Structure 1
Amino acid sequence: WGYNPSFYFAVDKYYGTKNDLRAFVDECHSQGMAVIIDLVLNHSFGQSPFYLLYKDADGKPSADNPWYNQESNIKNTSLSWGYDFNHESEYTRALVDSVAGFWMSEYKIDGFRYDFTKGFSNTPYGENDWANGPDNARIANLKRMSAAVQKRQPGAYVIFEHLAATSEERQLGDAGILLWCNKNEAYCETAMGWSGSKTDFSGLYAGTSMPAGSLVGYMESHDEERTGFKAWKWGNTGVIASTTSTNTGMSPATGSNINLSTRTKRLATNAAFFLTVPGPKMIWQFGELGYDFSINNNSDGSGYDDQGGFRTDPKPIRWDYFEDADRKKLYETYAALLDLRHSYPELFASNTTFSWKVGTANWDNGRTLSATSIDGKSLVVVGNFTLADKNFSVTFQETGTWYELLKDNEPLNVSSTTQTIAVPAHEFRLFTNFKPTLTGIETTAPDAEKPLIYYNRGMDTLVLPAGEAKRVEVYSVNGMLVMTQEKCTSVGLSALPVGYYMARAYMEDGRVQVCKIMK
């Protein structure tokens, strides 16, 4: 719950009171969402009482400190921070288990993402060693930790930021542990439009090297630069937000929106080759709107420090991005792809037949992805990451009628399993061999000759001119249900804070309509 926590049984005031957090978790659960918190238990810094109780005059943990090593077992300074916990100590193990148990019992937390689990042993590693293992002592300790969590709460999520050798990660995956999978570099390169050895996506898919569904893939995170920012600042010709060869600005707040449409298209194509891959995925905040402030920006976006001085500053909150046509289109692409995942989970299951061509050799001739579920549903994705419109040869699983998802299921007659598909520069096409019926909030409104519901800004009220609704639901912009009213012809919204909302009205005759609200 933040960088470098030291008080493991307390809610940071930044997030409100402890009862505020309890209410938040309860509301998430009512919406079918799990809550997972980040635990940093490899190291801590000087305010930790576990350090302060047993420290020497030179500032190091004392030899009799029950919880800390005097020196880190990892000498590589890029992998060593603060004071190093001794994970071979019975006291440290009791602390680790107690912390997890506390959050699960007191706050009903559903699981944990453990930071830098490479450090959870005392095996010595040298200055030039990246501690990739395999490390049998580390594996044993981490399995022990996970088992202790599962004993307290069967089915809890246990995620490790391990980033070690596959031979070691596989042992953890076989134990039911999820592993952080960093693909930031590859997706940044494709967002920027630079072909080369760094653009290969293939490690995102567990394949046969890891247990199915064991990799938590991500394009961006709190530790990695934004794909949108790198495209904005260092993109190729026609991608970069500059008319010159380099972008001299340091923040999109003061820069140009030149080529924004191109960049959001490339980010959408990234998403198409990310969210259609089986296994859990993480989207970092505002990624679905093409967030292009740097990880090194300050809180209002005006300052930039590439040495990391602003790294942990809050970043600008840009709900206004939702009103930009290019960014909103990217958002809708994310929504449709996620809706496809949720509506047809069989296409993304462990028994799905999945293949893709996403290496450096596939840059010029189009990257492709295909999946077929056990019941015969299939999808095909083709992406053009180059800077020019192209015709690609695409292999379909079968002939017949296919449907293009993001063109209102426009039919495509596939007369041969090998077809030529035209794909504009920066874009992708996604086809299914069935006509998807998606369940998303923004895709369920039927055509209507007159509105069933509209927002009266002056009265701050939803009005239903078509008569009484069986039920009206109001959602926040991030999909949280914030209000429900039964049997009504209007709904007052004065109790809701200023912001963006979506209302869905269910009429007595079965009609449904969605209304967007900007207060």
Structure 2
Amino acid sequence: MRKLIIFLLIANSLWSFMACKKAVPTDEPDPIAVSTEGLLSVEQGFLYWNDQATLLFDPSKGNAELKGENGDLYLHMGLITAASAGAQDWKNVISSWTSNDASFKMTKRNDGKYAFTLNPSVLYKLSNGNDVKYLALLVRNGTGTKVGRNKDGSDLYIPIAKKEGLAIRFNKPVTQPTYLLKTEQESYAVQEEVSFEIMANQSGKISLSLDGVQIGVEENSKTLKASHKLTKVGLHNFLAKIEANGQQSTQNLEVFVTGSSNVAELPAGVNPNGVSIDRSNNTVTFALSAPQKQSVFLLGDFNQYQASEKYVLNKTPDGKTFWIRLTDLNLNQDYTYQFMVDGKLRIADPYSHLVLDPAHDAGIKSSYRSSLPNYPAQAQGIVSVLNLKASSYNWKISQFNKPNPYDLVIYETLVRDFVQSHDYTTLKDSISYFEKLGVNAIELMPIQESEGNSTWGYNPSFHLALDKYYGTQDELKAFVDACHQKGMAVILDVVLNHAFGQSPMVQLYFENGAPTASNPWFNPIAMHPFNVGYDMNHESNLSQTFVKDVLKYWLSEYKVDGFRFDLSKGFTQKNSGTSESAVGAWSAYDASRVQLWKMYNSYIKTIDPTAYVILEHFADDREEKELAEAEMFLWNNLNQAFNEATMGYNSDNKSDLSRLFAQNRGFSNPNLISYMESHDEERIMFKNLQYGNTSGSYSIKQLPTAIDRNSMAASFLLFAPGPKMIWQFGELGYEISIDQNGRTGEKPIKWEYFNDPIRTKLFKNYAKMIRLKKANSIFRNATLQASSLNAAVKYYLLESAGQKVLIIGNFDVVQQQLNISAAMAGTWHDNLNNQSKTLTTQSGIQLAPGEYFVLSNNKLNY
């Protein structure tokens, strides 16, 4: 006889396919004391709308996040009424999350539980409670950083009864206060009896039935005790009922029994994760990696989300993979589905390409939302969409010849803050703008499915699913295709250092607010500072498989041209700690991290040998040099140095631009993506206008002057050898602070800048310099012959195959003289003003504040 794991939850419908065994009630049931053993209980047994009751909260139960908390605990409260659309639709929220109102503070008792006494009708001051169904609540600490919830992460709910009416409850098994009630006990052994204690608020006929067959009854009583043995895999439905004075009240309790899975090898040709479709044989195979789990059921609209023996997944002999092959699906329609793991956890497929999220999908465009399948009424949480009827996108450019990586001028953009409509289609319509500017690569900030809608995207939950907030899969493909038609590459910013709590891979092994030690993808605690979400263990074979699958999917399905890897320095299992003081240890040379990145880079090149691999690394120069020699590119943040220079503050080396050059860091090739702005830094123009230096009538706080300083800085950036990056609207002097509306909050989209001749002058200067950079090979990998980059007057001299380029600029706020060396002397072509300029060692050159030149011994191609 195989072991059975039993999971209990309330449901609204009965399941009637199983055999039942009748339980014998006692002749005279003893009075049942009110159970207060659960996470949240009512000391009086029932919570009435118009009567006082005491709630008891046990911080050691449920998610146990508040276990051991020493400070005060507060309730956050609302109601679920007849007008609520579902469990998340709280009404009449009367407590603030951000202020500690003594009216909602719980009282700690000697037994470690917390108490709160209330009368709902008095607390809510409503005319009546006829439409109120539940009291909904959360328990938080004083700072709101820890929250008491159910084990499954859901909110807490207590049914509200009417004192003059009938009410009934399950006293045993002890339950969690979920919207659909679940037991706290997770499993039983086979033939072990499930014991029931049922309470009513009035005497009457109390009965307990299983799948419509009565198994216990008491006449003229308030209590019933019964037991039942569960012997079949599947779903059992228990119904408790009280009947009195011509009225009745019921409570449903489902008991789910899952047996050990059949052991079978994964069929040949089937992916060990996700969905494999074989149209020639009319089969669809679902697979899930879940080591150490006992059983998995497939739930979907093809079986009304009801677990049954037909939909038990097989387990591979190594115990790591569960799979099931279906032969009766219609391959010309959409389905939704989930996995139920060990009878208690429902998750969407980690390999989903599209998901439905009941908490956030209301915020996506209605035109797109209406094209999606309806969210299934029987499901809970996020569900996967299996789109079997999808047609392939017809690519106009099937093979794209990417720009030389050393010619790249990348435009980093956040779709949300670049186009008012927040969508890929309008972004595609903006390609003419990119073309006019001259950039040859667009880097999209993360567009994988993340938690919420209006975000930066660095809180991912489904790494293979496109974020629906910005539009459809075909709309993104059309954008990529259109970029390729104009010779522009598309680079995706991907987040594979971590995932957030909606991720099924996090949820599969998660307790007490963190991944467990058995989680094969994520660390229980982060290995490094500045981690957000849950830190991925990249030395795990399953993590490496997942990352490779993610990268292959985006390269193949969307034909993107490469990746910018967020927080790439975090791909380490060396524990440097999480405090800011640990940054030095984290940044030190890490041989294991280097090998991980070489492995990932090599894999990417097997899919696309010309793909760009860009790391946000910021590690020791020795480590970055080794990665660069393996043909990876490193983000090179020069925001502070450039901004100190543009603001006119050039003392104590803060404006030193020497790290603009790869050879100053020991690199053989300029594999640096240098930039003076990115999404992570304060805007150059904001600081120029707020804090710029002044001397007499020359003030960097004035817009025309601040714009000219930006243009001078751009010349130093763009003409240094190697690829470069511009953060959106930097070419128009965007001046809104990163902190407006919160660091990651939406920022105003200032397309009206393009009507301002002062700002369009900057745009035109950027466009000319970008075209010069792309048209002249000297800017790929020239030799730095001479330079002075840490003083107010800055210059550098490049040479390659007889071509020379000299960049000069006065970053001071007063006139300065630059002495001319022999290497700099001669007659030069001024490429920005299209005239000649002679420099001599005898006279030097006088430079007004903000004056700059782009000179070459031979006129540059344009």
TM-score scaled to structure 1, two decimals? 0.74
The reply on whether 1:384 has 2:810 as its aligned counterpart is yes
Matching of residues 115-130 of structure 1 within 5 Å: 115-126=566-577, 127=579, 128-130=581-583
Matched residue of 1:349: which SS? Answer: helix
* Aligned counterpart, 2:789: 358
How far apart in 1 are the matches of 2:822 and 2:762?
26
Residue 372 of structure 1 and its aligned partner are, at CA, apart by 1.8
* Aligned counterpart, 2:828: 402
**In the alignment, which of 763, 769, 788 is matched to residue 331 of structure 1?**
763
How far apart in 1 are the matches of 2:746 and 2:616?
22
**In the alignment, which of 529, 544, 549 is matched to residue 98 of structure 1?**
549
Residue 353 of structure 1 and its aligned partner are, at CA, apart by 4.4
Does the C-alpha gap of structure 1 residues 29 and 240 become closer, same or farther in structure 2, counting only changes over 3 Å? farther
How far apart in 1 are the matches of 2:859 and 2:520?
62
Residue 258 of structure 1 and its aligned partner are, at CA, apart by 5.9
* Aligned counterpart, 2:659: 203
C-alpha contact 2:695 2:814 (8 A) present in aligned 1? no
How far apart in 2 are the matches of 1:395 and 1:18?
57
Residue 418 of structure 1 and its aligned partner are, at CA, apart by 6.0
* Aligned counterpart, 1:5: 460
* Aligned counterpart, 1:491: none
Give the aligned CA root-mean-square deviation in angstroms.
2.1
Residue 425 of structure 1 and its aligned partner are, at CA, apart by 0.7
Residue 339 of structure 1 and its aligned partner are, at CA, apart by 1.4
**In the alignment, which of 687, 707, 718 is matched to residue 230 of structure 1?**
687
C-alpha contact 2:796 2:807 (8 A) present in aligned 1? yes
* Aligned counterpart, 1:283: 726
How far apart in 1 are the matches of 2:821 and 2:698?
35
* Aligned counterpart, 1:368: 795
The reply on whether 1:219 has 2:676 as its aligned counterpart is yes
How far apart in 2 are the matches of 1:323 and 1:418?
45
Residue 400 of structure 1 and its aligned partner are, at CA, apart by 5.0
Q: Which moved more, 1:39-48 or 1:23-32?
A: 39-48
How far apart in 1 are the matches of 2:749 and 2:695?
27
How far apart in 1 are the matches of 2:597 and 2:761?
42
Matched residue of 1:7: which SS? Answer: strand
Does the C-alpha gap of structure 1 residues 239 and 7 become closer, same or farther in structure 2, counting only changes over 3 Å? farther
Residue 239 of structure 1 and its aligned partner are, at CA, apart by 11
C-alpha contact 1:392 1:420 (8 A) present in aligned 2? yes
Matching of residues 155-174 of structure 1 within 5 Å: 155-174=610-629
Q: Deviations over 1:359-396 (max 9, x none)?
A: 1xx22xx211111221x222212111111123322346
How far apart in 2 are the matches of 1:321 and 1:59?
46
Matched residue of 1:10: which SS? Answer: strand
Residue 329 of structure 1 and its aligned partner are, at CA, apart by 1.6
How far apart in 2 are the matches of 1:99 and 1:270?
38
Does the C-alpha gap of structure 1 residues 384 and 353 become closer, same or farther in structure 2, counting only changes over 3 Å? closer
* Aligned counterpart, 2:564: 113
The reply on whether 1:317 has 2:749 as its aligned counterpart is yes
* Aligned counterpart, 1:503: none
Residue 19 of structure 1 and its aligned partner are, at CA, apart by 0.2
Does the C-alpha gap of structure 1 residues 204 and 435 become closer, same or farther in structure 2, counting only changes over 3 Å? closer
C-alpha contact 1:118 1:164 (8 A) present in aligned 2? yes
The reply on whether 1:50 has 2:514 as its aligned counterpart is no
* Aligned counterpart, 1:248: none
TM-score scaled to structure 2, two decimals? 0.45
How far apart in 2 are the matches of 1:60 and 1:81?
12
Does the C-alpha gap of structure 1 residues 396 and 269 become closer, same or farther in structure 2, counting only changes over 3 Å? farther
Matched residue of 1:47: which SS? Answer: coil
Q: Deviations over 1:405-453 (max 9, x none)?
A: 222x112244x45652232112212222223342xxxxxxxxxxxxxxx
Percent of residue pairs bearing the same amino acid type: 41
Matched residue of 2:546: which SS? Answer: helix
How far apart in 2 are the matches of 1:240 and 1:421?
22
How far apart in 2 are the matches of 1:9 and 1:428?
47
How far apart in 2 are the matches of 1:93 and 1:240?
60
The reply on whether 1:344 has 2:776 as its aligned counterpart is yes
* Aligned counterpart, 1:501: none
Matched residue of 1:35: which SS? Answer: strand
* Aligned counterpart, 2:526: 72
Does the C-alpha gap of structure 1 residues 398 and 184 become closer, same or farther in structure 2, counting only changes over 3 Å? closer
Q: Deviations over 1:38-89 (max 9, x none)?
A: 1111112111111112211x12112221211111122x4xx22221111111
How far apart in 1 are the matches of 2:779 and 2:751?
31
* Aligned counterpart, 2:856: 432
Q: Deviations over 1:461-511 (max 9, x none)?
A: xxxxxxxxxxxxxxxxxxxxxxxxxxxxxxxxxxxxxxxxxxxxxxxxxxx
How far apart in 2 are the matches of 1:398 and 1:355?
9
How far apart in 1 are the matches of 2:510 and 2:477?
35
C-alpha contact 1:381 1:428 (8 A) present in aligned 2? yes
Residue 135 of structure 1 and its aligned partner are, at CA, apart by 1.1
Residue 8 of structure 1 and its aligned partner are, at CA, apart by 0.9
How far apart in 2 are the matches of 1:175 and 1:34?
21
Count of residue pairs the alignment pairs up: 401
* Aligned counterpart, 2:182: none
C-alpha contact 1:353 1:373 (8 A) present in aligned 2? no
Q: Is the strand fraction higher in 1 or 2?
A: 2
Matching of residues 159-198 of structure 1 within 5 Å: 159-196=614-651, 197-198=653-654
C-alpha contact 1:38 1:113 (8 A) present in aligned 2? yes
* Aligned counterpart, 1:412: 837
* Aligned counterpart, 1:301: none
Does the C-alpha gap of structure 1 residues 61 and 258 become closer, same or farther in structure 2, counting only changes over 3 Å? closer
The reply on whether 1:422 has 2:846 as its aligned counterpart is yes
Matched residue of 1:228: which SS? Answer: helix
Structure 1: gaps (5+ residues): 243-256, 299-309, 439-519
Does the C-alpha gap of structure 1 residues 382 and 398 become closer, same or farther in structure 2, counting only changes over 3 Å? closer
How far apart in 2 are the matches of 1:177 and 1:161?
11
Larger radius of gyration: 2
Matched residue of 1:266: which SS? Answer: helix
Does the C-alpha gap of structure 1 residues 315 and 62 become closer, same or farther in structure 2, counting only changes over 3 Å? same
Residue 15 of structure 1 and its aligned partner are, at CA, apart by 2.4
Q: Deviations over 1:212-250 (max 9, x none)?
A: 1211101011111111111111112269999xxxxxxxx
* Aligned counterpart, 2:496: 41
How far apart in 1 are the matches of 2:470 and 2:747?
16
C-alpha contact 2:819 2:841 (8 A) present in aligned 1? no
Q: Is the helix fraction higher in 1 or 2?
A: 1
